[in-house]
Structure 1
């Protein structure tokens, strides 16, 4: 039986993942830019403003593996935990009857 692990990585900086596991695909997702405009002085000069920009970079890692090796892959992810990123992990696995399950 095979299992597929999909990991969405979100961060404020572009993450460079070094060595990837076997049977791993790395897909770049579009980045999101948010622009904030703030008044410098709220009482006097309304024309004087500052602008700040926030960029959110996203990547999708797809790991295909056998179900009995799933624990090894998850331990590998814990050991190579990236700082300053948000991870969303989605599992897909196939049962003996051929049904695809997503817990």
Structure 2
């Protein structure tokens, strides 16, 4: 049924990133102009696939006239990765627009 479970997913193998990579931003977007007005809820979660266990879940505001949502940022600290939920709605029509919003 639509709206239940994970509709979209990202897989990030953090251990395979080069040492100079210190962060990743996760976003969802609709470059065809569709908005998030029909989205009733959104969440971002971290799952350790090797353990089959959910480590964290963040509910995010999604409903609105925007075309993209910057979901979360994962950053590398001293020996560990941390995740911060962002949930920032943005209006963009291209990947370059989304990249600029994510860098802000």
TM-score bin, normalised by smaller chain: under 0.3
Q: Which has the higher strand share?
A: 1
Structure of greater Rg: 1
Q: Which has the higher contact order (CA 8 A, sep 6+)?
A: 1
Normalization by structure 1: what TM-score?
Answer: 0.25
